[in-house]
Amino acid sequence: MQTTFTGKPVNRVDGPVKVTGRAQYAAEFSTGQTLHGVIISSTVARGRITGIDESAAMQVKGVVTIFSHKNIPTLAWLNFSYWDLAAPPGKHFRYFQTDEIYFSQQPVAIVIAETFEIARHAAALVHITYETLPAETDVYASLHKARKPKGSRIGIKKPKSRGNFSKAFAASAVTVKAEYRHGAEHHNPMETMASTVIYQDGGKLVIYDKTQGVFNSQQYIRGIFNLKFKNIKVVSPYVGGAFGVALRPQYQLFAAVLAALQLKRSVKISLTRQQMFSLGHRPAIVQQLALGASADGLLQAISHTAIQETSRFEDYVQAVVNWSGMLYNCAHVQMDYKLVPLDINSPADMRAPGAASGVFALECAMDELAYQLSIDPLQLRLINYAEKDGVSGKAYSSKALKACYLQGADKFGWQQRNPLPRSVKKGNKLVGMGMATGIWDALSIPVRAKAVLNAQGKLTVTSATADIGTGTYTIMSQIAAETLGLPLDDVTFQLGDTDFPLAFVQGGSYTAASVGAAVQKVCLEIKQDVFKLAKRIKNSPFKQCSLNDVVFSDGYIQLAGNRSTSLSLASVMQQSKTDRLKNTATALPNALQQMRYALNTHSAVFVEVEVDEDFGTIKVTRVVSAVAAGRILNPKTARSQVMGGVVWGISMALQEESVTDHHYGRYINHSFAEYHIPVNADISNIEIIFVEEQDDIVNPLGVKGVGEIGVVGVAAAVVNAIYHATGKRIRQLPVTLDKLL
């Protein structure tokens, strides 16, 4: 492959339409006659609706109807019909179909009106009464009810212990035992969930949905409302951030489709910021870590137990403890993962689900062990460096973590660190440095893509994937342009439409690799097709040539040995009287090859903090994150991704928590005023280093994906830096200033 665009910091191709406001998001599509819906949420966490008085609301001029469990039609009865691609095992929730309340803010009614303002006003007039039952919402108070997860989830492996932990731990010279906690967090992308359902003649629905996967929304709606696939088109060209919250179809989609089908009208519904706290979340988790090491720092025993909240109706599982079996060389590893069902909504995948939590605990425990051993925390990681995945016993397809450690440490100035805690002071500020390791999967999934080359030599590539702000549009355009040797301006990549070839939800950091492979493959097909045409045209200079003899560059096919012998793609198309060349390809991961290796991304994160000695206020003054994620397609968009991940990690460490009032069983800080995420003033210098890996095994592009790795390990590095600054070991996130007073 020619390296015209790969590895280049190409600007976002969708940048201009976004910054000029021309990019349309789900709630911005409309027809003249669109009705507006407002959803009413339960005020209690557990109980039953005893009455819904709609009389005052229905008298408001412009109100069309109010849907609730009292009047919605009979829908699908099989649990499977409510399943979606990102659903955990369990009984999937049936919105608006029961008078029972399972969690606070459960959607209970939909007010439909001619305008948004009327719907919102009328919603305030609907009077709902509840029989309230005591709710359990506190995972810490219910740890004794922890049990094994039921069922399993695609892609989530059950933790596999090895060796004899108890014996090895007892025999260890130095040990650490500690418990780490963090509460619930909500994704809170800038764009709230929204669906605009356009009702067309004959009952066909065109749905503009905020989603990470248009086919997931389509199949969900199809199953529940017993529709035909051909009558549901889901479109989602732009997504204003998602982080996992738009993996599962959310209830505004259900509500808008229900209303549209019942009323035979177009309907639009958005959630409020407060209602975003009713959706799936990163679950509260309690983790117990026990590490045993020999006096020279070799890990002898690791035990990692996680107890995590889930809902009453689904067993949401994620890989929390598994990383502790992979990251370090250790013969005796015991891992356990349990759930506590509570009266809450099902948790959901949120950026680096499982790893953000599990690696936080492991990497804090490693730091504690380093101090116990009087070994530099970085040195301890190097001593226990794993060349193989300890769980599967497989070698890594590539693992440049050691280079990440060394390059990161060098850039950060780790060697200048005084190992003694609370040893560096700047005025009122205690200065500390901490580090941690990050790990995530390098997954790929099957994806289809289609390419069309027109008579002007312009290429359009489509696949039904998403761009949740990650840069999909840009990197796919780069891959397509490079494969066919076209200028970027001659390539258009389109996504987010069920009319496009199949791609599953965007998540798990597998989009760049999976969709990228499909785009490359279909463009290679087009390349062959157009070359065949080129050979056939009259007086073709390529009559005796094979594809290996030519180069595709700058919109031309050129003879490799003599670049001036060339034909433009446009002239090939025109001379061969071809209006368009099209092809579709499916890229399948090379499972046979991949199953012999462990496929992962890694990172080393270094953090400096300053802590006010008297006030406990914490400022992260510097971060260096060195990331090994295969080949980097676009260092600009990749850097943005990792930087965003680092900010997420700082946020997780210092600010974010959805606080539950257990009397009401309700998230009580459900607004951006009180649910804190960092502001610009909280974020200082973040340096990203990409340590490139040559990896022919992960996929033909050698790409591993960078969506999640940026956040993993950051919270631990911050907490470890706080310990180094203050001598105080905080084991519960977020580390707010009161914990340091």
Partner 1 sequence: MEVAVTKFSFTKATDANDAVLKASSLTNAAFIAGGTNLVDLMKENVARPGALVDINQLPLHTITETEEGGLMIGALVTNAATAYNPLVEKHYPLLSKAILAGASPQLRNMATAGGNLLQRTRCYYFYDTATACNKRNPGSGCPAINGFNRMHAILGASEACIAVHPSDMCIALAALNARIHVLGTGGTRTIGFNGFHRLPAETPEAENNLQPGELITAIELPAEDFSSHYQYIKVRDRSSYAFALVSVAVALQMDGNIIKEARLALGGVAHKPWRNPVVEEHLRNQQISAPLLQDAAEMMLAGARGYGHNNFKIELAKRVIIRAINEAAGIL
Q: List the x/- string, 99-118, binding to partner 1 by CB under 8 A.
A: -----xx-----------x-
Contacting residues for 378 by C-beta, under 8 A, at least 6 apart = 405, 409, 414, 435
Smallest separation, CB 660 to partner 1 (Å) = 8
111 or 484: CB nearest partner 1:
111
Q: Is residue 62 a contact residue for partner 1 (CB under 8 A)?
A: no
> Could you tell me the smallest distance in angstroms from the CB atom of residue 239 to partner 1?
23
Indicate whether 674 belongs to the interface with partner 1 (CB under 8 A): yes
Is 133 among the residues that bind partner 1 (CB under 8 A)?
no
676 binds partner 1 (CB under 8 A): yes
Rounded to a whole number of angstroms, the minimum distance from the CB of residue 21 to partner 1 is 18
Among 78, 154, 592, 673, indicate the residue that binds partner 1 (CB under 8 A): 673
Instruction: Check binding of 621 to partner 1 (CB under 8 A).
Output: no
Task: Tell me: does residue 123 bind partner 1 (CB under 8 A).
Answer: yes
Helices 355-373, 635-654: crossing angle, 10 deg rounding: 70
The C-alpha atoms of residue 119 and residue 659 are separated, in whole angstroms, by: 30
Secondary structure, 3-state, 57-91: HHCCCCEEEEEECCCCCCCCCCHHHHCCCCCCCEC
Interatomic CA distance for residues 68 and 267, integer angstroms: 16
Stretch that binds partner 1, among 461-469, 470-478, 673-681, 693-701 (CB under 8 A): 673-681
Count the neighbouring beta carbons within 10 Å of the beta carbon of residue 550.
25
CB nearer partner 1, residue 61 or residue 538: 61
Told to check if 43 binds partner 1 by CB under 8 A, we report yes
What would the DSSP string read from start to end of 319-380? -SSGGGGTSB--SEEEEEEEEEE-SSPPP---SSTTHHHHHHHHHHHHHHHHHHHT--HHHH
Count of residues that interact with partner 1, criterion CB under 8 A: 47
- Can you give the length of the chain in residues? 741
Is residue 671 a contact point for partner 1 (CB under 8 A)? yes
Cα distance between residue 447 and residue 717, in whole Å: 36
3-state DSSP call for residue 586? strand
Which of 39, 255, 352, 730 is the binder for partner 1 (CB under 8 A)?
A: 39
What type of residue sits at position 187?
H
DSSP state of 457: S
Verify binding: residue 619, partner 1, rule CB under 8 A: yes
682 binds partner 1 (CB under 8 A): yes
Q: How far is the CB of 673 from partner 1 (least distance, A)?
A: 6
Q: What is the DSSP letter of 399?
A: -
**CB of 12 closer than 8 Å to CB of 641:** no
DSSP letter, residue 27: G
Helices (H), 508-590: 511-536, 569-575
By CB under 8 A, residue 154 contacts partner 1: no
Both tokens assigned to 103? 């969690």
Rg of the chain on CA atoms, in Å: 27
Q: Half-sphere exposure of residue 437, counting CA atoms within 13 Å on the CB side?
A: 32
Question: Least distance in Å: CB of 144 to partner 1?
Answer: 24
Candidate ranges 12-20, 155-163, 271-279, 314-322; the one touching partner 1 (CB under 8 A)? 271-279
- Shortest Å, Cβ 105 to partner 1: 8
Assess whether 674 carries a catalytic annotation. no
1 vs 56, beta carbon nearer partner 1:
56
Query: Which residue from 227, 570, 659, 697 is in contact with partner 1, where contact means CB under 8 A?
Result: 659
Q: Of 124-132, 336-344, 353-361, 519-527, which part binds partner 1 (CB under 8 A)? A: 124-132
Among the candidate windows 233-241, 267-275, 358-366, 641-649, which touches partner 1 by CB under 8 A? 267-275
Q: Show Cβ contacts of residue 115 under 8 Å, excluding neighbours closer than 6 positions.
A: 36, 62
Please report whether residue 126 would count as binding partner 1 according to CB under 8 A.
yes
Q: Does 738 bind partner 1 (CB under 8 A)?
A: yes
**Exposed, middle or buried: residue 16 (CB in 10 Å: 0-12, 13-18, 19+)?**
exposed
Indicate the residue among 89 and 616 with the shorter CB distance to partner 1. Answer: 616
Q: Which residues bind partner 1 (CB under 8 A)?
A: 38-41, 43-44, 104-105, 117, 120-121, 123-126, 128, 272, 274-275, 428, 614-617, 619, 655, 659, 661, 663-664, 666, 668-671, 673-674, 676, 678-682, 736-738, 741
Residues classed as catalytic:
708
